[in-house]
Chains A and B, each alone.
Chain A
Amino acid sequence: MPVIVVNLEDLRELLGRDVSIEEFQDRLPMMGTSWEGVTEDGFHLEVFPNRPDLLSIEGLARAYASWTGARTGLRKYPVEKSDYKVVVDTKTQEVRPWFVTAVVKNVEFDDPLIRSIIQMQEKLHVTHGRRRRKVAIGLHSLEPIEFPVTYTTKPPEFKFRPLGERFEKDLTWILSEMKTGKEYAWTVEGFKEYPMILDKKGMVLSMPPIINGEYTRIDESTTELFIDVTGTDLKAITEVLNVICVTLADRGAEIHEVHNHYPDGTVLTTPNLEPWVMDLDNDYVNHTLGYEFTPQESARELEKMGHGTEINGNVIKVLIPSYRADIMHPIDLVEDIAIGYDYDNFEPEIPPISSEAGEDPLEVFSRGLRNFLVGLGLLEVVTFMMSNRDKLFHRMSLPEEPICETDNPKMEAYDSLRNRLLPNLMEILSTNKHHPYPQNLYEVDDVVVIDPSTETGARSRRRLAITLCHSSASFSEIKATMNTLLENLELEAEVVEGGWDCFIEGRRYTAMLGGEPLCWAGEIKPEVLEKWELEMPVAALEMDIDKLFKKIYLEK
């Protein structure tokens, strides 16, 4: 989630009040942000991705002034009529179809505003813009631009002078040589022609979402802006344009409309900073919050969150500001009321709901086993489910079989899910050689195996593994351990010679229950011990607990 740096002085100036850092630290989280600490640049605040309007210091000041009651209700953002025209070429519709724009005048670019705008643009690109693919913003000096502006595409050999370069460069060079070109080339990968914004004279404003042209460079003397937002999602780019426009308007700028002509004849006039309307049933509010607000009280809290309200009986007509991107359901307005009223002010309550309670029977069964094994003097271990083929097969001298493997692991050592517990226990023995013996361990937990009959093609199975490791660990000891466990469950298994390859031949068995294998046991082969760098004999078993559970729990 994006973290912004807020200069304390800038924020105080916008609020017109000498707010202490302690107040911000205490209150801003209750408004719906996360306090991340203070450095010499200011305080750091995490803004939730559903509130892009808070990514600028102006937006933060706007919300805080409302929420604390200093200036509540809907703010009006007038948009001046104009005849600025842009044309969207049909060629763009295949690659990056959406384009909205605005003209802003009377901008005073002092340091705090520049800082704030750059930060906001950067954070919007990362989060809302999904690293510029979904949304990209271009800010231009209006002065050189001759309207109409055209949004079109150009072939790779097309040349213009990108921002920060002394000479014209072709588009291929920009994508392969320039820093921002290389960083964002992935957003235009596979395009035959690249998106391009030009004015009437054919001068390039921008190659979205990669880089602007030198032609419309902004400096301290710039007072009039042309803003373009391009992207793959009209809703997202409109929200972003609105957020930027109201931020500049909060600094005293004038917003002018632009008419965007689409190839199908549609004309989108942007920005539209008028509020939109959603009806909110006050009963729904109280029903959800467990409170008894009157419609007037609910409306007051909504106004603290920047909304306009009109009350009609029990229904509140909510005028939602154009910069609020997150409202999509009345429940979002209910949350605004809760935040406006302050989460702290709701008394906790436990409802008298009686419902069936209890643990999962397999968990009860597993706990019984765990406690019994402790009585045998075994030490329980809890190991990772993620493993790898080397550990599961090669080091165990077991033949490879299909297992569940991940597609994109960051670490090769953890790229698969274990299909057995035993290898993990062997690993623990190998990392604990400095501790006194005997080291007799067990684990009761899940493994995951391939199973085409399930929804995903895999299934988890509960297993038990035991390793007995000391100078006289033997076959008879591990077999006695299994027998004792089964006796205490009033079960008897049929022992058949043979089993897993990690055990010494002639000293390994498979125990069968109802004609199906239940347990594999024996003395671990010296070659396997060697692979784990163990110099102590190990006798071990692994048991299918699902089978045991089914027998005990379901058949009784």
Chain B
Amino acid sequence: MNPREVAERLHENERKVLQALSGRGTATTEELSRLTGLARDAVEKASDWAATKGVVSFKEEVSQFFSLTDEGSVYAENGLPEQNLRKLLVHGPQEIAKLKQTFENLNIALAWMRRNGWADIQNGVMELTDEGKKVDDSPEKRLLRALDKPTPQSGEAFTEDETPVLEQMVKRKLVTKNEETERSVAITDFGRQVLPELEAAESVNVITQLTPEMLVNKSWRGASFQRYDVTLPAPSLSPGKRHFISQVIDYIRRFWVELGFKEMKGEYLELSFWNFDALYQPQDHPARDLADTFYMKTPYSGQLPDPKMVEQVKETHENGWTTGSLGWQYKWDPEVAARNCLRTHTTSLSVKQIAKLTPDDLPAKFFSCGRVFRNETIDWNHLAEFYQTDGIVIGEGVTFRDMKGYLKAYMEGLGVERFRFRPGYFPYTEMSMEAEVWIEERGEWMELFGAGMFRPEVVKPLIGIDVPVLAWGPGFDRLVMQSYKVNTIKELYTNDIGLLRRAKLWME
């Protein structure tokens, strides 16, 4: 780019900096701030931009500052201990034992005397060496005095001869040394070529920001636009956005609807009857334990539905009723069934839906998508509530192979490549099955969700006839975690605003 083009691209602040440098060539950012009237950070930013265009460069200068430590201040006043001892010895040898009683800082003094080779000790008597007799203490004294000021002293104040003494004092922790780096900006040769072009570029009326006024008074005509460096970074915005789980739920709904399923809805707070009994789970089944299920204090229990159906469910539990089953063979208690709980699976919606159907409504396909609850202690991998989506297909002639067909479609829809269906166990299904995915990294199968055909003991008491029902209830938290590279299930529900703002869109 030639100087003229660069001149046109300079931002107003860059121009100010360049002009301020025209006389003196180099200035610190602080000085530039004073010269241009811009804030210090504006100067720094403008200098950075200008540097990328090659019109200025940076120089960094390191300055040293020295000041006395507490120990150094004491010696500045009283003299260095070894010097004091040396002066004492000038008058003749001294006994160490005696010095111990009278001389302050004797150990420090002795150490330095010995290191400097100023004295010999024989039979407890100390005597100056020839070296010790010649010592001149004036440079140290002068330095200590010079540093004994309230503010640190610049290194420039000391001569080259003094430097070794100064460094020695730094090592001895009598003096502290601080370094400050000052960045100064210098105009480059190219910058000097650009300088004369500035005025010309300015005189053609350069527009920085196009304003409504310019459009109204048409002052933009004949003007040129200040050229931007289009490669410079721009800040990120905070978008208004759907939560990623909410996006996934939309996707799952669409997925079911495209397969021809109708949505069923229901309550979170449910009778145990719908959550367990209607699913032929015996009343002493461990899944009904307080340890896993939230039971309600308020409202404690509710009203059982249609007495005829309730009676059928009761009979089925007790003796199989007319389902052809032996039943669980125990005494069924309506009070246990009337107890309210938080639904532990959305399968409760499926059986409630079946109870609403008549044989004329068949065949039918339903799905649900909603939260379920487990009485867990919440930690990184356990939540008390999470999402589940259930599907049922009910109709004469529906078979086990059809179930494999739907589940295969579901797995493929989710993009799972290698999967299998193995036998599983649920008290309310027969065949029961677990859908598993192959995890290549671990070299093993991982359970993804359970499925099965509702037992006749579930279906017949609810709808009055024995008709096959395919049912499955996948959770999808694992899938979302995998997709969003979230390692723990809790992060899905933390609502970290940073994560929500940058989480990728669910584009399926």
Contact of A448 among B268, B377, B400 (CB under 8 A): B268
Judge if B384 is at the interface, Cβ distance under 8 Å: yes
Contact of A350 among B238, B298, B325, B406 (CB under 8 A): B406
Asked whether, in the complex, the Cβ of B302 is within 8 Å of the Cβ of A457, the reply is yes
Give chain A nearest CB distance to B275 CB in angstroms. Answer: 11
Contact of B305 among A384, A408, A455 (CB under 8 A): A455
Judge if A404 is at the interface, Cβ distance under 8 Å: yes
Encode contact with A along B268-311: 1 for CB under 8 Å, 0 otherwise: 11110000000000001010001000111111101101000000
Given contact pairs A329-B456, A377-B240, A338 touches B268 in the complex (Cβ within 8 A): no
Judge if A450 is at the interface, Cβ distance under 8 Å: yes
Encode contact with B along A246-289: 1 for CB under 8 Å, 0 otherwise: 00000000000000000000000000000000000000000111
Give chain A nearest CB distance to B99 CB in angstroms. Answer: 63
Give chain B nearest CB distance to A241 CB in angstroms. Answer: 17
Residues of chain B contacted by A357 (CB below 8 angstroms): 256-257, 259-262, 365
Given contact pairs A381-B243, A383-B495, A349 touches B295 in the complex (Cβ within 8 A): no
Judge if B124 is at the interface, Cβ distance under 8 Å: no
Residues of chain A contacted by B373 (CB below 8 angstroms): 385-386
Judge if A35 is at the interface, Cβ distance under 8 Å: yes
Judge if B453 is at the interface, Cβ distance under 8 Å: yes
Which residues of chain A in 353-367 are interfacial with respect to chain B, using CB atoms and an 8 Å cutoff? 353-360, 362-363, 367
Q: Which residue of A lies closest to B250 (CB)?
A: A367
Asked whether, in the complex, the Cβ of A404 is within 8 Å of the Cβ of B456, the reply is no
Judge if B111 is at the interface, Cβ distance under 8 Å: no
Residues of chain B contacted by A402 (CB below 8 angstroms): 298
Judge if B447 is at the interface, Cβ distance under 8 Å: yes
In the assembled complex, the Cα of A328 lies from the Cα of B428 at a distance in Å of: 12
Given contact pairs A353-B363, A456-B340, A410 touches B401 in the complex (Cβ within 8 A): no
Asked whether, in the complex, the Cβ of B422 is within 8 Å of the Cβ of A343, the reply is yes
Judge if A514 is at the interface, Cβ distance under 8 Å: no
Contact of A432 among B327, B408, B496 (CB under 8 A): B496
Judge if B192 is at the interface, Cβ distance under 8 Å: no
Judge if A117 is at the interface, Cβ distance under 8 Å: no
User: Taking chain B's interface residues, is the majority helix, strand, or loop, or is none over half, making it mixed?
Assistant: mixed
Residues of chain A contacted by B298 (CB below 8 angstroms): 402-405, 450
Stretch from A76-84, A309-317, A434-442 at the B interface: A434-442
Judge if A105 is at the interface, Cβ distance under 8 Å: no
Stretch from B10-18, B25-33, B180-188, B390-398 at the A interface: B390-398
Judge if A32 is at the interface, Cβ distance under 8 Å: yes
Given contact pairs A50-B425, A384-B493, A288 touches B395 in the complex (Cβ within 8 A): no
Judge if A18 is at the interface, Cβ distance under 8 Å: no
In the assembled complex, the Cα of A406 lies from the Cα of B495 at a distance in Å of: 25
Asked whether, in the complex, the Cβ of A456 is within 8 Å of the Cβ of B271, the reply is yes
Encode contact with B along A285-296: 1 for CB under 8 Å, 0 otherwise: 001111100000
Which residues of chain A in 1-43 are interfacial with respect to chain B, using CB atoms and an 8 Å cutoff? 1, 25, 29-32, 34-35, 37
Residues of chain A contacted by B269 (CB below 8 angstroms): 404, 417, 448, 456, 458, 460
Encode contact with A along B306-331: 1 for CB under 8 Å, 0 otherwise: 00000000000000100111111110
Judge if A411 is at the interface, Cβ distance under 8 Å: yes
Given contact pairs A358-B263, A386-B384, A448-B268, A406 touches B455 in the complex (Cβ within 8 A): no
Residues of chain B contacted by A346 (CB below 8 angstroms): 400-401, 404
Give chain A nearest CB distance to B373 CB in angstroms. Answer: 7
Judge if B378 is at the interface, Cβ distance under 8 Å: yes
Asked whether, in the complex, the Cβ of B246 is within 8 Å of the Cβ of A335, the reply is no
Asked whether, in the complex, the Cβ of A355 is within 8 Å of the Cβ of B265, the reply is no
In the assembled complex, the Cα of A382 lies from the Cα of B383 at a distance in Å of: 14
In the assembled complex, the Cα of A325 lies from the Cα of B120 at a distance in Å of: 102
Contact of A288 among B376, B399, B427 (CB under 8 A): B399
Judge if A487 is at the interface, Cβ distance under 8 Å: no
In the assembled complex, the Cα of A1 lies from the Cα of B427 at a distance in Å of: 12
Asked whether, in the complex, the Cβ of B385 is within 8 Å of the Cβ of A386, the reply is yes
Contact of B241 among A31, A37, A359, A374 (CB under 8 A): A374
Residues of chain B contacted by A409 (CB below 8 angstroms): 294, 375
Asked whether, in the complex, the Cβ of A359 is within 8 Å of the Cβ of B295, the reply is no
Give chain B nearest CB distance to A139 CB in angstroms. Answer: 25
In the assembled complex, the Cα of A212 lies from the Cα of B257 at a distance in Å of: 61
Residues of chain B contacted by A290 (CB below 8 angstroms): 399-402
Chain A, interface size: which category? 35 or more
In the assembled complex, the Cα of A370 lies from the Cα of B340 at a distance in Å of: 32
Given contact pairs A359-B257, A363-B253, A382-B246, A411 touches B384 in the complex (Cβ within 8 A): yes
Stretch from B65-73, B205-213, B429-437 at the A interface: B429-437
Asked whether, in the complex, the Cβ of B375 is within 8 Å of the Cβ of A48, the reply is no
Given contact pairs A370-B246, A404-B299, A406-B296, A460 touches B455 in the complex (Cβ within 8 A): no
Judge if A505 is at the interface, Cβ distance under 8 Å: no
Stretch from B77-85, B126-134, B497-505 at the A interface: B497-505
Give chain A nearest CB distance to B358 CB in angstroms. Answer: 15
Residues of chain A contacted by B375 (CB below 8 angstroms): 406, 408-410
Asked whether, in the complex, the Cβ of B263 is within 8 Å of the Cβ of A359, the reply is yes
Asked whether, in the complex, the Cβ of B299 is within 8 Å of the Cβ of A332, the reply is no
Judge if A515 is at the interface, Cβ distance under 8 Å: no
Give chain A nearest CB distance to B168 CB in angstroms. Answer: 48
Judge if A235 is at the interface, Cβ distance under 8 Å: yes
Residues of chain A contacted by B246 (CB below 8 angstroms): 370, 380, 382
Give chain A nearest CB distance to B200 CB in angstroms. Answer: 42
Judge if B421 is at the interface, Cβ distance under 8 Å: yes
Residues of chain B contacted by A454 (CB below 8 angstroms): 267, 302
Give chain B nearest CB distance to A477 CB in angstroms. Answer: 14
Given contact pairs A378-B240, A379-B501, A384-B493, A329 touches B324 in the complex (Cβ within 8 A): yes
In the assembled complex, the Cα of A107 lies from the Cα of B500 at a distance in Å of: 66
Asked whether, in the complex, the Cβ of B497 is within 8 Å of the Cβ of A435, the reply is yes
Which residues of chain A in 289-347 are interfacial with respect to chain B, using CB atoms and an 8 Å cutoff? 289-291, 328-332, 334-335, 338-339, 343-344, 346-347
Judge if B468 is at the interface, Cβ distance under 8 Å: yes
Residues of chain B contacted by A417 (CB below 8 angstroms): 268-269, 342
Judge if B457 is at the interface, Cβ distance under 8 Å: yes
In the assembled complex, the Cα of A381 lies from the Cα of B245 at a distance in Å of: 9
In the assembled complex, the Cα of A458 lies from the Cα of B239 at a distance in Å of: 37
Asked whether, in the complex, the Cβ of A29 is within 8 Å of the Cβ of B402, the reply is no
Residues of chain A contacted by B268 (CB below 8 angstroms): 385, 417, 446, 448, 460
In the assembled complex, the Cα of A391 lies from the Cα of B242 at a distance in Å of: 25
Asked whether, in the complex, the Cβ of B245 is within 8 Å of the Cβ of A363, the reply is no
Judge if A109 is at the interface, Cβ distance under 8 Å: no
Residues of chain B contacted by A410 (CB below 8 angstroms): 375-377, 384
Contact of A329 among B263, B424, B457 (CB under 8 A): B457
Residues of chain B contacted by A448 (CB below 8 angstroms): 267-269
Asked whether, in the complex, the Cβ of A408 is within 8 Å of the Cβ of B290, the reply is yes
Judge if A190 is at the interface, Cβ distance under 8 Å: no
Asked whether, in the complex, the Cβ of B294 is within 8 Å of the Cβ of A384, the reply is no
Give chain B nearest CB distance to A203 CB in angstroms. Answer: 34
Asked whether, in the complex, the Cβ of B326 is within 8 Å of the Cβ of A384, the reply is no
Give chain A nearest CB distance to B384 CB in angstroms. Answer: 5
Q: Which residues does B use to contact A, with CB under 8 Å?
A: 238-243, 245-246, 250, 253, 256-257, 259-265, 267-271, 284, 286, 290, 294-300, 302-303, 305, 320, 323-330, 340, 342, 363-365, 371, 373, 375-378, 384-385, 393, 395, 397-402, 404-409, 420-425, 427, 430-434, 436, 444-445, 447, 453, 455-457, 468, 493, 495-498, 500-501
Q: Report the 7 A-B pairs with minimum CB-CB distance, sorted nearest first.
A: A290-B399, A457-B299, A48-B425, A290-B401, A32-B423, A348-B404, A377-B240
What are 19 pairs between A and B in contact, CB < 8 Å?
A31-B423, A49-B425, A288-B468, A328-B325, A329-B457, A334-B431, A335-B432, A344-B420, A350-B406, A355-B260, A374-B240, A380-B243, A384-B493, A407-B297, A410-B377, A417-B342, A448-B269, A458-B269, A458-B299
A-B contacts besides A338-B400, A355-B261, A383-B495, 7 pairs, CB < 8 Å? A291-B399, A343-B423, A374-B240, A377-B240, A380-B241, A384-B493, A428-B495
